[in-house]
A and B are shown apart, each in its own frame.
Chain A
């Protein structure tokens, strides 16, 4: 699995867009980029995933560079409830098994 690199922490003002970067320079062609978040000590929650096209859902947008070596998760209007640790993961699915390797993530603090 490709290793991902994220800044350890970021702050964002409430109501502003939060842009969380991730570097995955060794990602292989069959690996998707996933984002999960973990609020306090709860179980991680899936946010979004993509292969090479930009993706958007009700929670966030995912922008993947053309060379796929980096990506950015965008929370368009951050709220206090978005304060969490965000994990960027590169993973593939093989034989029914999805190996998801969590790093230490980015701790996002949304400030009132």
Chain B
């Protein structure tokens, strides 16, 4: 199993550009999550998907949209990137009935 994979690993955008961060898991997990981590801070939840076909806002959803394309994939879209969205983005998944979240390696995004 590859676990949770994220693409790209690094990205530099200009203000106003759009992009989609991809996340996929091959563990047949039900719920998936997107977090952001700013320097020296803990992770903050952006959006989550409790199951295929459902998505909900987390703590910091403004400026983002998500799509749970199927059970494996959960993408995060920035429609018009802003410097405040410079951060490391982590995707995670969790199997139903389990307590542990499994995290991907992260995407390091810089918005100039």
Chain A interface residues toward B at CB < 8 A: 32, 34, 36, 41-46, 49, 87, 93, 95-105
Contact = CB atoms under 8 A, between A and B. Distances in A.
6 contacts: A41-B106, A43-B105, A93-B99, A97-B56, A98-B101, A105-B42
Interface of B: 4, 30-31, 33, 35, 40-45, 48, 50-51, 56, 58-59, 88, 90, 92, 94, 96, 99-106, 108
B103 A102 contact: no
B103 A44 contact: yes
The secondary structure that dominates the A interface is loop
Contacts of A97: 31, 48, 50, 56
B90 to A, nearest CB: 5
Given A45-B103, A102-B42, 9 more contacts: A41-B106, A41-B108, A43-B90, A43-B104, A96-B51, A97-B31, A97-B48, A99-B45, A101-B42
